[in-house]
Amino acid sequence: MKSDAPPNVDLLSVTGLTASFHVKGRIIPVLHDVSFSLKAGETLALVGESGSGKSVTAQSIMRLMRDCSIGGRVELNGKDLLSLSRRDMARVRGREIAMIFQDPRMSLNPTLSIGVQISEVLQRHRGLSAAQARAEALRLLDAVRISGPSRRYDEHPHQLSGGMCQRVMIASAIAGEPRLLIADEATTALDVTVQAEILTLLRELQNETGMAMLVVTHDMGVVAEIANGAAVMRQGRIVEFADTQTLLTRPADPYTQDLLASVPKLGSMAGQAAPRYFPVAGKVPAATDCVVAGQDTILSVRDLNVRYRSRSSFLGISKGSNHAVRGVTFDLRSGETLALVGESGSGKSTIGRAILGLSPVTSGQVILAGQEMTSLRGEPLRQARRAAQMVFQDPAASLSPRQRIRDAISEPLRAWGETGDINAVVHDLLVQVGLEPEMADRLPHEFSGGQRQRICIARAMALRPSLIVADEAVSALDVSVKARICNLLLDIQRQTGVACLFISHDMAVVERLSDRVAVMRNGAILEIGSRRDVFESPQHAYTRALLAAVPNPVPRTSQASISRQ
């Protein structure tokens, strides 16, 4: 469907949009005077960190928020959406504006077949009969590149992968032939190669249908990949509104500049051997070659195999097994960072857990600080495990909500029966991770995500381990926070010479932080080598695909030509 509006007139125009949440009788403003516009067939990105109001803006346009009052004007082809009745608004949703969300598995109704979830839109908005809708839904499934549509039609969401679910969501979104598609962090939860496929699909569908897109994202790389223009949001305001080219090359606002500086760019380390700090306030990127890897081997993993058996909850009858780690071998020396990179299900996290004795090992050896771990149980395992500590992905979940951070940080010391001035140790650890020692008596919920991760790092360092396993430790953090936590890890490594096993799916962060890299897929290491070798001359086709799929925050040369059409 080609849009009937003339191309140089705004399709969507948002003027002075405000929004406030009503929480327990209090009114909390979240959007202040947000204005932007979008022409037919174009793609605009709303970009910002968590809490910037980008999702609220998108959902306010659709009027999906509850307990929230919205002001200002939202015009679609000159029609003010905010003044429509609920009934009329329901005719706009799905028909003129469609929306897809972050978590595709949760966004589909688990009890309805995927076919029904597409054809219900066709029946509602295009007045098709059930039989016509089925035929059209099959065509749409084909259009979003789902193979064997007629076989898939009656399947339920839980039978599909995350990427497939997002394709189904897209099919149901374009079913109403909308003029505008809003994608709210629609690729954030997906693996990087799947994200690349979905972004390509969205671009192709846009070319076929001429719909405009409003893309909400935290990822400057996605902005560069898909958007003609972008609005950078911070604390409920738009701080900069520019075309993508200008934004990425000559950002005007200091916040945008800082944000872009914090974003790790793949390839920016070319020619460098050692890890480097991120260029954030107070850290100069040059002259910060970090740690020189020591000579003693801290960790040796030999031919490690982990096989999970899924069992019924009752009587533990085996229901099949899953080979999570296959024949993995590597060494790690003191002061060194080895990155395990791979997509979900590659087995990288399982290795980290197996090293610490948290996952049962099927065969192979793990030698930590000279001690073979896999044969140990109970107290000897606890003793041997002391040499290694772990930092998890979600700092909120890895701190007990009931424990003051003094107690959380000192727990390992107390668990080992350490005597002496524990308060002094906590004080020093807090200083080391860049927190105020006066904060020691607060509870975790009083801290931000980045601060919580600092607390977790302090706890991990309490026992002066020789190995830190960082399992996606910076993945859940906002870019600017992510850069600072990475710098903290480098700092600590330089001060203490601790070795780091850095488990991550984020190629750009890995490029910054690691001395050596192991690329994993389906439980096996495909290639392992120095960071430079892996990033600059990848040997394996999968490594190359992985690197190519990373959306990089540099302008696409083709982008300008598309927008001028």
Partner 1 sequence: MLNFLLRILRSVLVLLGVGCLIFALIRLAPGDPVTLLAGPTADIQTVEALRIQLGLDQPMGVQLLKFLSNALRGDLGESLVHRRPVLDLILYALPQTVYLSICALFTALLVSVPAGLVSALRPSSAADRLAEGVVLAAQSVPVFWVSILLIQLFAVRLGWLPSSGNDQWAAVILPAFALSILQWPLLTKTVRTAAISVGSQDYAKTALAKGLSSKRIVFIHLLRNMLVPIVTIIGLQTGAMLSGSVVTEAVFAWPGIGTLAMASLLARDYPTVQGIVLFSAAIVVTISIVADALSLIIDPRLRS
Partner 2 sequence: MSASAFNGVLGRVIRNRRILIATALLVIIACVALASKSLAPFDPLQQNLRFRLMPPGSLGADGRMFLLGTDQFGRDAFSRILVGARVPLIVSFSAALLGAAIGLLIGVIAGYFQGWIDSLIGLLIDAQLSIPFVLVGMMVVVLFGPSLHNIVLVFTLLSWPIFARIARDEARLAARQQFVEASLIGGGTTTWILLRHIIPAALPRVIVVAAIQLAYFVVSESAFGFFGLGVPPPEPTWGNILSDSRSYLFQAWWLGLFPGLAIALIAFAANLFASGLNEVVDPASTRGSTF
Report the interface residues with partner 1, using CB under 8 A: 62, 64, 90-95, 98-99, 101-103, 106-112, 120-121, 124-125, 156, 158-159, 169, 172, 176, 312, 314-315, 317, 319
CA–CA separation, 457 and 498 (whole Å)? 12
**C-alpha closest to that of 304 among 345, 381, 356:** 356
Q: What is the smallest separation between the CB atom of 119 and partner 1, expressed in angstroms?
A: 11
Residue with Cβ nearer partner 1 (2 or 91): 91
Q: Please name the helix (run of DSSP H) or strand (run of DSSP E) that holds residue 559, with its range, or none.
A: helix 557-564
Measured from the Cβ of residue 413, the count of other Cβ atoms closer than 10 Å reads: 18
Residue with Cβ nearer partner 2 (415 or 545): 415
Token pair 């903290």 is at which residue?
488
What does 111 interact with, of partner 2, partner 1, none (CB < 5 to 8 A by kind)? partner 1
Look up residue 8 and give its two tokens: 């140089």
Query: How do 499-504 and 371-372 pair as beta strands?
Result: unpaired
Q: What is the smallest separation between the CB atom of 188 and partner 1, expressed in angstroms?
A: 13
Q: What is the smallest separation between the CB atom of 195 and partner 1, expressed in angstroms?
A: 19
Q: What is the smallest separation between the CB atom of 323 and partner 1, expressed in angstroms?
A: 20
Binding site for partner 2 (CB under 8 A): 66-67, 314-316, 356, 358, 379, 382, 385-386, 388-390, 392, 394, 397-404, 408, 411-412, 415-416, 441-443, 445-446, 456, 459, 462-463
Look up residue 365 and give its two tokens: 């050896």
* CB distance 151 to 201 below 8 Å: no
Q: What is the smallest separation between the CB atom of 206 and partner 1, expressed in angstroms?
A: 19
Look up residue 27 and give its two tokens: 């009114």
What does 443 interact with, of partner 1, partner 2, none (CB < 5 to 8 A by kind)? partner 2
Q: What is the smallest separation between the CB atom of 199 and partner 2, expressed in angstroms?
A: 28
Residue with Cβ nearer partner 1 (49 or 120): 120
CA–CA separation, 267 and 531 (whole Å)? 11
Residue with Cβ nearer partner 1 (202 or 461): 202
- Residue length, the chain? 565
CB-based burial, 505-529: b 16+ in 10 Å, e otherwise: bbbbbbbbbbbbbbbbbebebbebe
Token pair 């019924």 is at which residue?
312
Q: Is 107 helix (H, G, I), strand (E, B) or coil?
A: helix
What is the DSSP code string of 162-208?
Answer: HHHHHHHHHHHHHTT--SEEEEESTTTTS-HHHHHHHHHHHHHHHHH
Q: What is the smallest separation between the CB atom of 289 and partner 1, expressed in angstroms?
A: 46
Q: Around 114, how many Cα atoms within 13 Å sit in the side-chain half-sphere?
A: 29
Structure-derived torsion over alpha carbons of residues 398, 404, 405, 408, reported in degrees to the nearest 10: -60
What strands, in cross-sheet order, belong to the sheet with 237-243?
97-100, 180-184, 212-217, 43-48, 229-234, 237-243
Residue with Cβ nearer partner 1 (101 or 153): 101
Residue with Cβ nearer partner 2 (182 or 399): 399
**C-alpha closest to that of 13 among 70, 73, 63, 55:** 73
Q: Is 338 helix (H, G, I), strand (E, B) or coil?
A: strand
What does 230 interact with, of partner 1, partner 2, none (CB < 5 to 8 A by kind)? none
What does 441 interact with, of partner 2, partner 1, none (CB < 5 to 8 A by kind)? partner 2
**C-alpha closest to that of 318 among 328, 327, 305, 307:** 307
Residue with Cβ nearer partner 1 (96 or 240): 96
Q: Is 388 helix (H, G, I), strand (E, B) or coil?
A: strand
What does 26 interact with, of partner 1, partner 2, none (CB < 5 to 8 A by kind)? none
CA–CA separation, 120 and 117 (whole Å)? 6
Residue with Cβ nearer partner 1 (83 or 159): 159
Phi, psi of 267, deg, nearest 5: 95, -10
**C-alpha closest to that of 341 among 514, 552, 164:** 514
What does 400 interact with, of partner 1, partner 2, none (CB < 5 to 8 A by kind)? partner 2
What does 110 interact with, of partner 2, partner 1, none (CB < 5 to 8 A by kind)? partner 1
Residue with Cβ nearer partner 1 (91 or 382): 91
CA–CA separation, 455 and 391 (whole Å)? 10
Q: What is the smallest separation between the CB atom of 11 and partner 2, expressed in angstroms?
A: 28
Residue with Cβ nearer partner 1 (185 or 191): 185
Q: Name every residue whose Cβ is closer than 8 Å to that of residue 495 and which is 6 or more positions away in sequence.
A: 432
Bridge partners of residue 39, in order along the sequence: 10
Q: What is the smallest separation between the CB atom of 358 and partner 2, expressed in angstroms?
A: 6
Q: What is the smallest separation between the CB atom of 535 and partner 2, expressed in angstroms?
A: 31
What does 317 interact with, of partner 2, partner 1, none (CB < 5 to 8 A by kind)? partner 1
Residue with Cβ nearer partner 2 (249 or 400): 400
Q: What is the smallest separation between the CB atom of 56 and partner 2, expressed in angstroms?
A: 14
What does 197 interact with, of partner 1, partner 2, none (CB < 5 to 8 A by kind)? none
What's the burial of 375, exposed, middle or buried (CB within 10 Å: 0-12/13-18/19+)? exposed
Q: What is the smallest separation between the CB atom of 354 and partner 2, expressed in angstroms?
A: 13
Residue with Cβ nearer partner 2 (206 or 451): 451
Q: Is 490 helix (H, G, I), strand (E, B) or coil?
A: helix
What does 442 interact with, of partner 2, partner 1, none (CB < 5 to 8 A by kind)? partner 2
What does 392 interact with, of partner 2, partner 1, none (CB < 5 to 8 A by kind)? partner 2
Residue with Cβ nearer partner 1 (27 or 548): 27
Q: What is the smallest separation between the CB atom of 320 and partner 1, expressed in angstroms?
A: 10
